[in-house]
Amino acid sequence: MANKKLTLALYTGSVDKLTAAGVILGGAAAEDMDVDIFVLLQAAHAFKKENAMADEYFAEIIDKKDEFLASLKRLNAPHWTEAFKTAKEMTNVKIHICGFAGKVWHGEKLDDFIDLADDICGIGEYISSAEEADINLFI
């Protein structure tokens, strides 16, 4: 029997939502799901090599950013990039950078992004993946 498939459209570039995506990704990996992640707009900014470790971008409850980051440290939670890396080591995870989103942030080639990224593609690949997925999430 084929593995179930999760397609994740990752729009956000904020550390709180990227951390949440990492938790979801870890759950999918634990279930041995195949996962396609499509890195869109603000997420493409976060996946650029020079931005990936920055924690200044925060989407929800902005005045709680410092408390959130302190809690992650207290809990010894991995940085979102590490959570994504671990999931890729556990199951079939492919990370696709949207070509348009990359260009918005001057990311013209795969080497402009962190080494977790597998390719640069068009939005049509996301649509096809979403149509085939058992679960499709937009974060």
List the domain boundaries for the chain: 5-138
First-to-last C-alpha distance (Å) of the chain? 29
Per-residue pLDDT band for 132 (boundaries 50, 70, 90) equals: very high
Note the pTM of the prediction, 2 decimals.
0.92
Residue 121 CA: distances (Å) to CA of 11, 12, 26, 66: 15, 18, 24, 35
Two tokens, residue 56: 């200044």
CATH class of 5-138: alpha beta
Residue 132 CA: distances (Å) to CA of 2, 49, 126, 128, 136: 12, 31, 10, 6, 9
Condensed to tens digits (0 to 9), the pLDDT of residues 30-82 reads 999 999 999 999 999 999 999 998 877 777 777 888 898 899 899 999 999 99
The confidence score (pLDDT) of residue 68 equals: 87
H or E segment at 135? strand 135-138
**1 pLDDT higher than 70:** no
Nearest-angstrom CA–CA distance, 131 and 57: 31
